[in-house]
Structure 1
């Protein structure tokens, strides 16, 4: 199963499988991607719809090869295949193999932790936090044996620098740090006071778990912190981990201002992503929004000419290619370009419902305010009729001065004289047509205003006004 991308001449592979001809049907179902994730899950592949003509006679199991992409900043290291049947029942299976290595875990992002600490002085004593660990175990059954859990929770980096600086000074002064583990059961966090957390090598910590919990977190502290602050911080971390800071970018094509790319890019990687877009030829005028917070599976509803949706997934590139056109060719008469605005609305998963093979907005009247507004503009074209009228108004001397003002080469003017020796108006039209073809089709080169300025310079402000 392949897909033809808008910005590529080559089709991209979506999945590969082998089955008898006519017995298995694979289709892309990316329109339902918002319903494929919940909790802290992140979608890293395309959504595939698999259907068999005769389930009873078809021989299972089948093997599917599906390409996926994992962001380099992701803290997820477990890849699972999620299946949803026609009754919308969910089940998980482990992949047989993955090409990439997914071993090891990362602690909570230091930038995320610093942002939360900046909003509450009570969290200043927190040095680092282990990754949020999810455990799946039947609630009615106790653990058969104690579990030893090892997680990364690095020490204070300032302490390491201090140790290096004091390597030549003999001192017995030591900085003590405290390790505390929290567990969540039925969406309520609590401090596990009786659990002893030990330091291991390379910033790892270990502890023994005697009872089952849904989620676990380890905090490294400079000094003990009250349990109420620890549980509040755990809730904030869990909530913040679901949000991603995104910048919405609108870029025009290099030679076609009507071709527009709208992309939702991770704010932390904005410079790198813009460089990638420039390398692909999207180096026209750029408009960027302020940072927008989106959850996995949220949709961006785009309004300008019709309704277009683009689902946000942090682990996948979120790009939309659109063609712009003016609604009223006689509008914006006092401006050298047509103007408009792109409005983007954030739509959460709760505001959508599953209808057939699409995600449909439950109530379009409850959209609220847009999360961002991006200005749009299109250069007004110079029609042949306008150039014909203008060439009839110019004298031969004015046409010669216009060639210099428009920065055309002398050879262009000489070629026009050779082709149309007996018609000065045809010479002027040919020169204006050559200038129109040579000018880049970009917003930064408004043709109408540039021609009006040149007419004013050669002493014809009346024509410039017209």
Structure 2
């Protein structure tokens, strides 16, 4: 039966239902009306009970005798819209809708399920981001609150993990439900580095920061109009969710009969458990931590005692939950790169030997001939030549016979830490692979290839440094200003290997230095850099509040970013410079300090006792200000003598050169701050600057002072006797300069 045949339904209802629910099977949304109709049709059929029952019994007999006739009758009754009494007794009216719809009870219970996309406001992002998509009942979605809590990222990620998504918090409203049924959650993430040793997991953290892991059902696909990487999980718990990239976990189940297994993450690593290694079935969990050659090279550059180390194998983490000891030795094969200089040295020595041998041979023969040693027996000459060739070839064979050794280091427990296992012999299986027999449980182990012997303590120190450095990343702080608006800055915390890409991206956005990026320093995943501003420049993230401390949490696969506005603290500061000057101080805060200050915010005095990891110098160009000259310096008076004197000062300021003015200032009793104020007041007009200087000097003199006589004396001292005579003449004869005739008429 089609939906249009059901009374009370229309195409408009169907369309609205599809738009609202977006779930399969919603076209049968009017099933309750259908059930009422069926009940109305069934009422008159109940009046002829006896006949119907006899007819039903007869139909059963006929079904046994002639099934073909029964099928024809049933087809006819269906066309007429009638049912036999047997069918009416066996079929519950409430199940009629299920008969028409063909849906199970589980599908009926999920008829109100829908998918909702949650958007969150992320700090330092101009647009809201998709936090997650959840498929759940409508009542659950309407009472579910999703928030971005990226400030807690330092506490939800471990050293061996890398955060690749936002940290989102899920909780119900106060009046909402308290139990979450199993729902589907899809979290977008961005992982740039995966590799064969890494795996993507969803980490769930509770209120006490206790974490558990969920394996995603899928990692790639579409979510609405978005295409990319999405971690899809099934969960029935609330908490803080994040997608992390961590070491891949591989589980080995070793039966009593033994097991030979290559790891799926790296087939070069294999374990061979012989028969009866354990008395019963044992489960082991394995993780492999690769050690980058650059980490070893950096350690060798810093400390000379590690110069003999050639290479290392990956660091293997082995978890053995069972307390059973090893009854037999387990054969382990690990990759350990050979000495890269061995083959190269061998090739060079072979080539050098052929060349030098021929040269020495010709030289020796020539030497013997020149010395007239031809009378010696031929055998004696051959013996001498062999000795010379052996002496010339002995240093060239040194590269072919390097005294290499392989050492196994293991970590049994916290009490013993890393130790050298001298009793275990490590052998070369083939190029780049080593093998050894393991007869005890070790939590972690690795193999070191060295060109010469090294102290046991130094080897243990080396492995501890390598293990620690695998969790460290070299990073830089970048602080760039906007070219068009230098008061806008961005601050980035990026890994050093991505520095060039980050700088190029900033330049495309219109940002550039100075200052230059900071020197690189070490950071662990989740550690923070606290940024404070000092000097004559302050910063604000909202355009109002200044003097705050800004936090950048480091995550190797994410790009922490701050967008700030800076301004000068004192507009009259840095008077001797065309720029305002300040400094950005960056302090490194460890995860231990962050964990201790979860309840109370971290204060600057908690970390300012240590030296900052970097200092970035900032400058701001000064803006040209139009400052109206104070009326106190415009000494216009109704007294003719005062007006004449003011006009003479104005005339004199136009006659003095810059060098004359500089020499004259030395004789005038003026403070340095006054001269600086005059420069700010009239930055581009030299005549106005000299005039203001003379006005300040004139105002500070006593009324009884003979101002013309003092000024003419100063002019004579700077070598301008001509101006002194002209000034005296104008003053005595009351001659106003031409450019101040307006002043005379005003008087």
Do these two structures clear the TM 0.5 threshold for a shared fold by scoring above it?
yes
- Alignment match of 1:90 (pick from 211, 228, 231): 211
- State the Cα deviation string for residues 134-181 of structure 1 (Å, max 9, x = none): 233327455799766554321111123235557878999554643322
2:301 matches 1:180: no
Q: Counterpart of 2:582? A: 340
Q: Counterpart of 1:25? A: 145
Q: Determine if contact 1:352/1:362 at 8 Å carries over to the other structure.
A: no
Q: Determine if contact 1:347/1:367 at 8 Å carries over to the other structure.
A: no
Q: Determine if contact 1:177/1:220 at 8 Å carries over to the other structure.
A: yes
Q: Counterpart of 1:310? A: 552
Q: Determine if contact 1:301/1:310 at 8 Å carries over to the other structure.
A: yes
- Alignment match of 1:277 (pick from 506, 509, 513): 506
2:365 matches 1:136: no
1:252 is displaced (CA, Å) by: 0.4
Distance between the aligned counterparts of 1:140 and 1:43, measured in 2? 34
Q: Determine if contact 1:331/1:338 at 8 Å carries over to the other structure.
A: yes
2:472 matches 1:243: yes
If you compute each CA radius of gyration, which structure gives the higher value, 1 or 2? 2
1:260 is displaced (CA, Å) by: 0.6
- 1:412-427 aligned at under 5 Å gives the runs none
1:196 is displaced (CA, Å) by: 4.7
2:165 matches 1:66: no
- State the Cα deviation string for residues 47-70 of structure 1 (Å, max 9, x = none): 221224567642125333331324
Q: Secondary structure at the match of 2:460?
A: helix
Shift in CA distance, 236/316, structure 1 to aligned 2, threshold 3 Å: same
- State the Cα deviation string for residues 44-103 of structure 1 (Å, max 9, x = none): 33222122456764212533333132458x896233333221232222333334459985
Q: Determine if contact 2:493/2:552 at 8 Å carries over to the other structure.
A: no
Deviates more, 1:266-275 or 1:53-62: 53-62
Q: Determine if contact 1:155/1:203 at 8 Å carries over to the other structure.
A: yes
- Alignment match of 1:262 (pick from 482, 491, 495): 491
Q: Determine if contact 2:587/2:607 at 8 Å carries over to the other structure.
A: no
- 1:143-222 aligned at under 5 Å gives the runs 149-165=332-348, 173-175=400-402, 177-187=404-414, 188-199=417-428, 203-207=432-436, 209-222=438-451
Q: Counterpart of 1:433? A: none
Distance between the aligned counterparts of 1:24 and 1:296, measured in 2? 30
Q: Secondary structure at the match of 1:79?
A: strand
Query: Where does structure 1 lack aligned partners over 5 or more consecutive residues?
Result: 388-447
- Alignment match of 1:329 (pick from 566, 571, 576): 571
Shift in CA distance, 40/8, structure 1 to aligned 2, threshold 3 Å: closer
Q: Secondary structure at the match of 1:235?
A: helix
Q: Counterpart of 1:40? A: 160
2:201 matches 1:80: yes
1:461 is displaced (CA, Å) by: 7.5
Q: Determine if contact 2:289/2:315 at 8 Å carries over to the other structure.
A: no
Greater relative contact order structure (CA < 8 Å, 6+ sep): 1
Distance between the aligned counterparts of 1:63 and 1:368, measured in 2? 45
Q: Determine if contact 1:13/1:67 at 8 Å carries over to the other structure.
A: no
Q: Determine if contact 2:120/2:147 at 8 Å carries over to the other structure.
A: no
- State the Cα deviation string for residues 432-451 of structure 1 (Å, max 9, x = none): xxxxxxxxxxxxxxxx99x9
1:385 is displaced (CA, Å) by: 5.8
Distance between the aligned counterparts of 1:66 and 1:145, measured in 2? 47
Distance between the aligned counterparts of 2:346 and 2:143, measured in 1? 67
Distance between the aligned counterparts of 2:503 and 2:496, measured in 1? 11
Shift in CA distance, 59/77, structure 1 to aligned 2, threshold 3 Å: same
Shift in CA distance, 379/464, structure 1 to aligned 2, threshold 3 Å: farther
Q: Secondary structure at the match of 2:189?
A: coil
Distance between the aligned counterparts of 2:145 and 2:326, measured in 1? 43
Q: Determine if contact 1:33/1:47 at 8 Å carries over to the other structure.
A: yes
Distance between the aligned counterparts of 1:276 and 1:149, measured in 2? 46
Q: Counterpart of 1:397? A: none
Q: Counterpart of 1:286? A: 515
Shift in CA distance, 183/268, structure 1 to aligned 2, threshold 3 Å: same
1:301 is displaced (CA, Å) by: 1.4
Distance between the aligned counterparts of 1:134 and 1:262, measured in 2? 37
Write 1 or 2 for the structure with the bigger share of helix: 2
Q: Counterpart of 1:364? A: 605
Shift in CA distance, 373/56, structure 1 to aligned 2, threshold 3 Å: same
Q: RMSD of aligned C-alpha atoms?
A: 4.0
2:171 matches 1:51: yes
Q: Counterpart of 1:429? A: none
1:209 is displaced (CA, Å) by: 4.2
Q: Secondary structure at the match of 2:486?
A: coil
Q: Determine if contact 1:107/1:153 at 8 Å carries over to the other structure.
A: no
Q: Counterpart of 2:461? A: 232
Structure 1-normalised TM-score?
Answer: 0.72
Q: Determine if contact 1:353/1:359 at 8 Å carries over to the other structure.
A: no
